[in-house]
Structure 1
């Protein structure tokens, strides 16, 4: 494949399979509160983690951007578990935030023997292999696998539903029609991405991928919240990408003669759908970048690991 980003998108089924064949566990007996620290794509993984820890494991969970936690540290209890998520393990904001934490600490990272691994009580590696493209793809879904595993372990529930995910991703990749959709957006400079429930985080992640890879002004929103003000942005020149079942919001958007691109919820329980709804958005970011002749693996102004 010509570009690392496309290669890494296609590597995701195998990365997920290998993670599912590995057992992980939390090294702490009691957890009654969880804090999550992360930046960028890892922060969006953290938002899905929050959904899982609260809705599956029934544990109150807070998520904060690592850079903002310096100004407003997350509250800790005697049984708080702090989870830091960082692809490289060298993210300066996350390292700085973690140094102020007093509670038990787990790092989820792809960076073997990275700085963050020396600061925490337990490290869980994503084992995704080197990710050369600046825009994270396979490390994101690898982080999700670990967060699902941790949430189901804390809930003392069996997690078997992810076993079918790799082949379902492969089916999406085989039947890929995203290039045709990208052609309709080649000259579009503003996009709205909406999702609901657990896919709200995927709306945010999809918008970030479009910003990073295609230089498109894309904004992600929770579908219901979009009606409370941001809907005023819509006109015939600003398409909306709708992820899954966004209910009446989609009717309101169409009433404004706004172009809509739908990414349907896969035929699996919605709780597990983020693995499949994110793939078309990753592909869209890639295809649109190629159409615009952007260096998709090395977009301007950003680096793989923000260490300063």
Structure 2
């Protein structure tokens, strides 16, 4: 959600920042802008819509200068117009801001009483006015920046430039990510390491409350009290090649084809290939004495957690509570002493999940996070990180990160079950072998695009779609429905198949396709019965199943896609891939913006 890129250096800054914003498009946005300072003067260009519109504005009226800030905005306060786009320039300053300033109305009222006039509908403009107010009072930029951020309440990442200071860039963060990149005679600011990947492989992640003063050859970092602090410089392995499309039409298409690699690389980290046993870091708690696990996440990661609940309860015999983070952080249920909180996030910056992390930590829970970005805020604040190796995920709709999350949760379940002496070594190897077989099976599924495309033609004509699953396949049905809604804008709902007769069956007619996730190894007879009921009412039945299931479904289903035969334990991971491909193929037929669907952001960093 929103993106910041800034540079202070010796080269023309606008092309650097513009390409940084291009790499941040995946976060979601609806306007963009760049401001530079040259010969002591600030100039800016802004545009509503896609980044190409900003590119046209820059071509018509170029910006020069070696210091610049840029922004991709996802509208919160104020419509997505050029007027509301960042950077905001007021007097002698310009700023870009990610997040929400919760006290902006109070700030605005105070500033207006001093004769200041606001031009936009945004909360961010209050930051620019407040900063300029301090500058106009005679404060130096560093002093003015500190005085400003001390008045702000809410979540923010901010970059600031100042007239009369061509070699100065100041950043601050609280609740929204911001990183420093170290270059050769230049310094960078970015919302994440993807923005900085081609510019620097040496990154410092600011901590909550930190702010920084950058020149082309110097970095100074302060904490929320203004004390100079040291933050570690980390080396990132990200490369420009990792964030290209590699000849695919969309990032989502590329990332769908990366499922086998994401699963394989993730398993390589946590499975000993010689002993075929799960090898995880030492847990900061006694696994055998655990009484309860709390799982929380948002979006697709929440559905991954639901699968994890089935695994942990069935195999590790652990009671599991699961709730979406946006609800759990305010519901505040009682927590057991020294309980385990398991949090799942691709970015590690999801605002609600991060908020829950802090609440659960205060409640005395051990925090274990499943993350794709281990150096994220959640990673730094967790007791233990179980990292997946999915690589950068650029498309807003999560794909390979989901199967990587499931791979980690499956391995964790095996590990817990063994530590709790609920499975023996032979059973552990059987389950682990089924995981290690997944990359090759995933490659087989990628060969089914044509068959899934045939299904997609049916879905693309519908206004409403039902997804059905039973048991551990229910969350996969939910993931399929979510993906369809996200990128094709078709209304879809997922139900436990056994609930069909308790209401949803009234929706079924020939215009409402029914998509079923139905491996023969998981409550298949029950699912088959439910599909026969839907068929009898005119429903068009589309099924993902295996060889045995296909034989029994051939007189019931209109379309069947046969997946490789796999262990019931790993079926949810494999069956995720075709439901995601189905959504992608439907979106192609609908002609939607697959990678950047309307109104959505990749990482939701504000409530």
Question: TM-score range, shorter-chain basis?
Answer: over 0.9
* Aligned-partner Cα distance in 2 for 1:100–1:134: 27
In the superposition, relative to structure 1, how do residues 10 and 74 fare at CA in structure 2: closer, same or farther (>3 Å)?
A: farther
* Aligned-partner Cα distance in 2 for 1:199–1:35: 21
Among candidates 258, 282, 305, match of residue 539 of structure 2: 258
Aligned to 1:17: 264
Q: Secondary structure at the match of 2:596?
A: coil
Q: Which has the larger radius of gyration?
A: 2
Q: Deviations over 1:87-119 (max 9, x none)?
A: 110100111111111210101111231111122
Q: Secondary structure at the match of 1:37?
A: strand
The Cα shift of 1:251 comes to 1.0
Aligned to 1:179: 453
Given the alignment of the two structures, is residue 29 of structure 1 paired with residue 283 of structure 2, yes or no?
no
Q: Mean alpha-carbon deviation: is it higher for 26-35 or for 229-238?
A: 26-35
Aligned to 1:155: 417
Q: Deviations over 1:184-231 (max 9, x none)?
A: 222211100000111000000000000001101000111102221111
Q: Between Structure 1 and Structure 2, which shows a larger proportion of helix residues?
A: 1
Q: Between Structure 1 and Structure 2, which shows a larger proportion of strand residues?
A: 2
Among candidates 107, 110, 131, match of residue 372 of structure 2: 110
In the superposition, relative to structure 1, how do residues 268 and 117 fare at CA in structure 2: closer, same or farther (>3 Å)?
A: same
Aligned to 1:299: 597
In the superposition, relative to structure 1, how do residues 57 and 26 fare at CA in structure 2: closer, same or farther (>3 Å)?
A: farther
Q: Secondary structure at the match of 1:185?
A: helix
* Aligned-partner Cα distance in 2 for 1:129–1:100: 29
Given the alignment of the two structures, is residue 233 of structure 1 paired with residue 504 of structure 2, yes or no?
no
Aligned to 2:344: 85
Aligned residues: 308
The Cα shift of 1:79 comes to 3.9
In the superposition, relative to structure 1, how do residues 149 and 74 fare at CA in structure 2: closer, same or farther (>3 Å)?
A: farther
Among candidates 209, 215, 219, match of residue 483 of structure 2: 209
Contact 2:374 2:385 survives alignment (8 Å): no
Structure 1: which 5+ residue stretches go unaligned? none
Q: Secondary structure at the match of 2:502?
A: coil
* Aligned-partner Cα distance in 2 for 1:16–1:65: 25
Query: TM-score, normalised on structure 1?
Result: 0.97
The Cα shift of 1:181 comes to 1.5
Q: Mean alpha-carbon deviation: is it higher for 109-118 or for 82-91?
A: 109-118
* Aligned-partner Cα distance in 2 for 1:128–1:148: 16
Q: Secondary structure at the match of 1:19?
A: helix
Contact 2:465 2:514 survives alignment (8 Å): yes
* Aligned-partner Cα distance in 2 for 1:76–1:160: 35
RMSD after superposition: 1.3
Among candidates 430, 436, 439, match of residue 166 of structure 1: 439
Aligned to 1:54: 313
Aligned to 1:3: 250
What stretches of structure 1 move > 4 A for 4+ residues in a row? none
Q: Mean alpha-carbon deviation: is it higher for 74-83 or for 217-226?
A: 74-83
Q: Secondary structure at the match of 1:117?
A: helix
Given the alignment of the two structures, is residue 198 of structure 1 paired with residue 472 of structure 2, yes or no?
yes
Structure 2: which 5+ residue stretches go unaligned? 1-247, 271-279, 519-523, 547-563
Q: Secondary structure at the match of 1:100?
A: helix
The Cα shift of 1:70 comes to 2.3
Higher RCO, 1 vs 2 (CA within 8 Å, ≥6 residues apart): 1
* Aligned-partner Cα distance in 2 for 1:151–1:26: 15
In the superposition, relative to structure 1, how do residues 93 and 304 fare at CA in structure 2: closer, same or farther (>3 Å)?
A: same
Matching of residues 236-247 of structure 1 within 5 Å: 236-244=510-518, 245=524, 246-247=527-528
The Cα shift of 1:26 comes to 5.0
* Aligned-partner Cα distance in 1 for 2:414–2:474: 21
Q: Mean alpha-carbon deviation: is it higher for 142-151 or for 153-162?
A: 153-162
Query: TM-score, normalised on structure 2?
Result: 0.50
* Aligned-partner Cα distance in 1 for 2:312–2:576: 20
